[in-house]
């Protein structure tokens, strides 16, 4: 068989190549401002675990036949999130990303209400639309306000028009582009008023870990509001070297999804079969080491986001910073700046999401480059 498989690189040059790649990635990491990823972390104590195939195959609450897994840690991570959101009888798992959490929650909602209609705002992340397509759900897209927050009157109108069917509603706790927060209390009041059965899913990819630690922010609570599920990304606020996420729901909702699978000695409750046990350790370690400091980390991100907004205002970039968000939207700068700082652009707007790694010094460097780019533009 040797010779059939093309060599990617000789052993010595493979190491050289990786060294070069590492330098490139290091440089890009120093200039990342467009995506909501905390790149500031240290997982060195977990390096020894790279030697093991940690696979949390199937359900997190049933230890199957395969013994090399981190379910014990996974259940602690889930319990921490459940506690954060005041969810008493919880079920969930550590997903491969926020998208998987949305897919899982909407699959569950669809299972609960097979004839239901999925409602989501125009500013919703594309993974919700993906779920609608995959599960062939009826959908209604509701207009948003200019801030990116759902237009509640339009939502009520759409729900009233469809009120003979159950509703599956996605609530954005921080939209992707503008960081706008849909109000759980206002949406559940509408559902109450119209007396419709509903599954309310919260997309908390980023905001799921910002809001609980922000002064005056709307609470994410399963106890005081009728929300049914929430998805959060792990590599965004927490920051992990591999993408991951968490999805949580009320345990009674899940019972109907369970199917026993003899081969793995477990039940088939998760979307993915093999699941990343190492990602669980990253989350568990970050929560154990930094959990107490999360409010402080969020406060610093908020302060820095305000600083960036004020500076951009002075420079004439028409910035927008929504309440309970660290996403600063502004006029799209010169192409060179967008490229260097890896800014996500949509039409004439761009944004910077201020995370823990974007401290004052980095922001000043970014602002300097903006100023210089204007000089050369003219």
Catalytically annotated residues = 325
Task: Report helix angle 152-161 to 184-194, nearest 10.
Answer: 30
8-state DSSP, 18: H
Q: How many Å apart are CA 78 and CA 56, to the nearest integer?
A: 14
Measured over the CA atoms of residue 320, residue 326, residue 332 and residue 333, the dihedral's sign is positive
**Alpha carbon 38 to chain centroid distance?**
12
**Alpha carbon 249 to chain centroid distance?**
16
Q: How many Å apart are CA 267 and CA 256, to the nearest integer?
A: 12
Give the side-chain half-sphere CA count within 13 A for 71.
Answer: 18
Q: Which residues of 325-340 are buried (b: 16+ CB within 10 A; e: fewer)?
A: bbbbbbebbeeebbeb
Q: Which residues bind ligand PLP (CB under 6 A)?
A: 97-99, 125, 127, 172, 174-176, 203, 205-206, 233, 243, 245
Q: How many Å apart are CA 94 and CA 161, to the nearest integer?
A: 36
User: In a 3-state reduction of DSSP, which class is residue 90?
Assistant: strand
User: In a 3-state reduction of DSSP, which class is residue 231?
Assistant: strand
Class of residue 88 by CB neighbours under 10 A (exposed 0-12, middle 13-18, buried 19+): exposed
8-state DSSP, 226: -
User: In a 3-state reduction of DSSP, which class is residue 234?
Assistant: coil
């Amino acid at each position: 068989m040797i010779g059939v498989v093309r060599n990617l690189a000789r052993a010595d040059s493979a190491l050289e190549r990786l060294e070069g790649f590492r330098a490139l990635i290091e440089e890009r990491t120093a200039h990342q401002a467009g995506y909501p990823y905390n790149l500031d972390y240290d997982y060195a104590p977990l390096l020894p675990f790279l030697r093991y195939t940690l696979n949390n195959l199937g359900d997190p609450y049933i230890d199957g036949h395969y013994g090399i897994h981190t379910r014990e840690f996974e259940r602690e991570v889930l319990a921490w999130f459940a506690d954060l959101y005041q969810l008493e009888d919880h079920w969930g798992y550590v997903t491969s990303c926020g998208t998987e959490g949305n897919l899982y929650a909407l699959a569950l909602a669809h299972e609960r209400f097979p004839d239901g209609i999925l409602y989501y705002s125009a500013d919703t992340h594309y993974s919700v639309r993906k779920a609608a397509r995959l599960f062939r759900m009826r959908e209604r897209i509701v207009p948003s306000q200019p801030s990116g927050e759902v237009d509640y009157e339009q939502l009520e109108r759409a729900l009233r028009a469809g009120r003979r069917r159950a509703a599956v509603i996605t609530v954005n706790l921080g939209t992707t582009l503008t960081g706008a927060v849909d109000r759980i209390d206002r949406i559940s009041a509408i559902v109450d008023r119209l007396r419709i059965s509903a599954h309310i899913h919260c997309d908390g990819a980023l905001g799921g870990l910002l809001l609980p630690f922000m002064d005056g922010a709307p609470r994410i609570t399963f106890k005081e509001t009728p929300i049914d599920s929430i998805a959060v990304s792990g590599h965004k606020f927490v920051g992990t070297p591999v993408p991951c996420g968490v999805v949580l729901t009320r345990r009674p909702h899940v019972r109907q999804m369970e199917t026993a699978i003899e081969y793995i000695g477990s039940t088939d409750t998760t979307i993915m079969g093999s699941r990343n046990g190492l990602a669980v350790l990253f989350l568990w370690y970050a929560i154990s080491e930094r959990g107490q400091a999360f409010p402080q980390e969020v406060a610093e991100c908020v302060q820095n986001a305000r600083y960036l907004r004020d500076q951009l205002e002075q420079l004439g970039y028409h910035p927008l910073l929504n309440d309970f968000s660290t996403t600063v939207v502004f006029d799209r700068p010169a192409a060179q700046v967008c490229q260097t700082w890896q800014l996500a652009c949509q039409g004439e707007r761009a944004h910077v999401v201020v995370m823990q790694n974007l401290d004052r010094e980095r922001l000043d460097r970014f602002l300097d480059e903006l100023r210089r780019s204007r000089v050369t533009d003219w």
